Amino acid sequence: MAEIKFIKNTSPKAKPSDETQLGFGRSFTDHMFLMDYTQGKGWHDPRIVPYGPLSLDPSCSVFHYGQEVFEGMKAYKTADGSIQLFRPEENFKRLNRSNERLCIPEIDVDFCVEAVKELIRVDRDWIPSAEGTSLYVRPFIIGCEPVLGVHPANNYLFIIILSPSGSYYANGMAPVKIFVESQYVRAVRGGIGYAKTGGNYAASLKAQQDAVGYSQVLWLDGVERKYIEEVGAMNVFFVIGDEIVTPELQGSILPGITRKSCIEILKDWGYTVSERRLSIDEVREAAQSGQLKEMFGTGTAAVISPVGELKYKDETIRIGDGIGELTQKLYDELTGIQLSKREDRFGWIQKI
């Protein structure tokens, strides 16, 4: 792959002054990475240029048929000032699995990891350092052939943007309430549920909007509306008696990298993790019999999010009392590895 061309932003923006007020995805750094794909030529012209609006033909396929895939990861600044990423190659491998499903051409994983690192080096002064903050990295690909016919595009644009992000737990980690969605569904097997693509989010907005008072929606399977799938942008785990359970990946669930990392850590600690079908009825019954000990969500944004309550139809299912023991232990371990406060025994950290 070619050298990455660099055009420096000669009018840099003022950086957010208060790192405690960053929120999520509201401000962007001074540069972005772009790369084009042209049929017959492949990916070409990788470049880092000033962050700013794109000029696209209104007929581009992404606007009409949603041919788009994306990723999300974070760069962390550690106590000694070094900058690092958590398993970035996993994100680009997953991007390729999403690409395959959406008929988007494959990208070179190693090159994209290098591109992310180079972009972060350029904008390194934007990485916040307050407790819990990070630089959110959003790579995405859009189909941009200017033709209205329904077919995979012949041209694509690969883009990476960076956004300084605040602490997910600005007010401390606390259990959240989740609404179990029994009317709308997010994805079905055979569909695009396992791909990280905007269409899945478009399908989810209505349920999220209707679930007033709940931080997220828990999706059930699209056929029987009985088996647990995942939450908003998080996978889910349950501790039922002595068993740790997470729904198996069967095509409609997004295969989270945090999920995968939790399973690997838990196995390393000597626990067994069951990846299997889990019905909402089994969760209700476990709660009634006192066997439902913990529930937590896993995802890049929150890392680990304790769940304290589920609302299913007219029923309120309460889970544990405060933050579960395993939930806290996993949170401490994962964030410890990400910030190099704990040993990186799996080789997950890449320094920039």
Verify binding: residue 72, ligand PLP, rule CB under 6 A. yes
Cα separations in angstroms, 209 against 36, 107, 203, 231, 274: 36, 35, 11, 14, 32
Q: Is 334 helix (H, G, I), strand (E, B) or coil?
A: helix
3-state helix, strand, coil in the chain (%, to 5): 25, 30, 45
Indicate the residue among 199 and 299 with the shorter CB distance to ligand PLP: 299
User: What x-and-dash track marks residues 162-201 binding ligand PLP by CB under 6 A?
Assistant: ----------------------------------x-----
Identity at 27, one-letter amino acid code: S
Residues touching ligand PLP: how many (CB under 6 A)?
14
Cβ contacts of 322-325, under 8 Å, gap ≥ 24: 322/175, 323/173, 323/174, 323/175, 324/239, 324/293, 324/294, 324/295, 324/296, 325/294
CB of 305 to ligand PLP, least distance (A): 11
Indicate the residue among 48 and 253 with the shorter CB distance to ligand PLP: 253
Indicate the residue among 155 and 338 with the shorter CB distance to ligand PLP: 338
Indicate the residue among 287 and 295 with the shorter CB distance to ligand PLP: 295
Verify binding: residue 218, ligand PLP, rule CB under 6 A. no
Near ligand PLP in 293-312, by CB under 6 A: 298-300
Q: Is 340 helix (H, G, I), strand (E, B) or coil?
A: coil
CB of 306 to ligand PLP, least distance (A): 16
Indicate the residue among 133 and 300 with the shorter CB distance to ligand PLP: 300
- In a 13 Å sphere around the CA of 89, the CA atoms on its Cβ side amount to 9
Indicate the residue among 46 and 139 with the shorter CB distance to ligand PLP: 139
With CB under 6 A as the contact rule, the residue among 256, 306, 308, 320 that binds ligand PLP is 256
Dig out the tokens for 71 from the structure.
């990723």
The residues of the shown chain that bind ligand PLP, judged by CB under 6 A, are 72, 196, 230, 233-235, 254, 256-259, 298-300
